[in-house]
Structure 1
């Protein structure tokens, strides 16, 4: 390998490392903000409701406990409707291995930044496979929300364009 090739490789590796560090820092900041918001529940629900991207908060049994207005607007339905019953994430409907791993491993404390998602809303129980799915939201961040005792009680998915 020539010196120039080694230099290029080192520069590329340095750029990749910098990008990963930036993502990790951004995800850490997002997690801290959500933890702060959870501590102030009233403000928490307002911020979640008016956040411009779809958000779904779910429990270890994959039941949605909270979604925001952007999520409901995207699905064109009121998701958390007592008459319909609980809306769940159906892991068997997930066709993206990274998304499936994220939904499962978030409760082990892992955070995921996913790209190139296709039809991510199909995984929710009220969505029929035949419904056309917009490709508007092709990215997602999945992160854990621990309780005071550090036990992870909820996972959060934020869908992004």
Structure 2
């Protein structure tokens, strides 16, 4: 390999990697847009969203939870009934290790979607105060935070979807 080719090859490899990152970001954005459309047409409280296999929560601007799906309830012991009995704000439960969640929650109401990775046990935010569960969920380290749009594309809620 000549000197010029030896210098160009790493740049070509980097260019390919950046292209792959761009493609991944486009795919993620496309998936979220489809999910937003689905929620808009079927409703947040639809059977399909409730049975979605990934833990999901919806929250108001102040961080108060208004909805959790079955997957999140099964993991944490928090139920929809708990949300109607007492306020449960995720903003009060953000740790130093998960401080990036605060920005994601705030930015959702500015219309932004955030893909977070390497979170430190984010599902622990959803374990109720009176719960005896002290379970850790180290495999759930990634999340996407996105706005939920109503008619007229007004942002009324934010959503968090957690992934392994």
TM-score, structure 2 as length reference = 0.80
| Secondary structure of residue in 1 paired with 2:82 | coil
State which structure, 1 or 2, has the greater radius of gyration over its C-alpha atoms: 2
Change (3 A) 1:5 1:91: farther
Q: Name which of structure 1's ranges 56-65 and 75-84 shifts more when overlaid on structure 2.
A: 75-84
Q: Counterparts in 2 of 1:68-107, with a 5 A limit?
A: 68-81=69-82, 84-91=85-92, 93-95=94-96, 96-107=98-109
Corresponding residue for 1:6? Answer: 8
Shift of 1:91: 4.8
Query: What stretches of structure 2 of length at least 5 have no aligned partner?
Result: none
**Two-structure CA RMSD over aligned residues (Å):** 2.7
CA offsets 1:84-129 (integer angstroms, 9 cap, x no match): 312211256232233222111111111111111111123347358x
Which of 26, 29, 32 matches 1:30? 32
Q: Aligned partners of 2:109, 2:84: CA distance in 1, in Å?
A: 29
Which of structure 1's runs of 4+ aligned residues deviate more than 4 A?
none
| Secondary structure of residue in 2 paired with 1:108 | coil
Number of residue pairs matched by the alignment: 159
Corresponding residue for 1:118? Answer: 120
Shift of 1:81: 2.2
Query: What stretches of structure 1 of length at least 5 have no aligned partner?
Result: none
Corresponding residue for 1:48? Answer: 49
| Secondary structure of residue in 2 paired with 1:81 | helix
